[in-house]
Amino acid sequence: MSDYRDVNLAHWNGRAAAHAASPGYPVASLVADSAALSEVVAFDRPLLGSLTGQRGIHLQCHIGTDTVSLARG
């Protein structure tokens, strides 16, 4: 029996490329512009206050665009 983490990783890897290529996610613009933010983080960022010196992840991020954006903000 496979470890549930291996099953989950295989499931994710099978879908990640399609999601990253979707026009609904700004992957290309985030790669091209190091100051670009996802729409979610652009909205959330002013509400969060200073994040200087903080580390974190966006738990509902899905493919990483919001986590990358949060690190940039």
What does the pLDDT read at residue 33?
96
Residue from 36, 32, 33, 26 nearest 64 by CA: 26
- Sorting pLDDT into bands at 50, 70 and 90, what band is 64? confident
Which pTM was predicted?
A: 0.72
Token pair 């933010």 is found at: 37
> DSSP string of 50-67?
--TT-----TT-SSSHHH
Answer yes or no: is pLDDT of 44 > 80.
Answer: yes
Percent of the chain with pLDDT over 70: 97
Q: Which domain holds residue 28?
A: 4-72
Looking at the structure of the chain, the number of domains it has is: 1
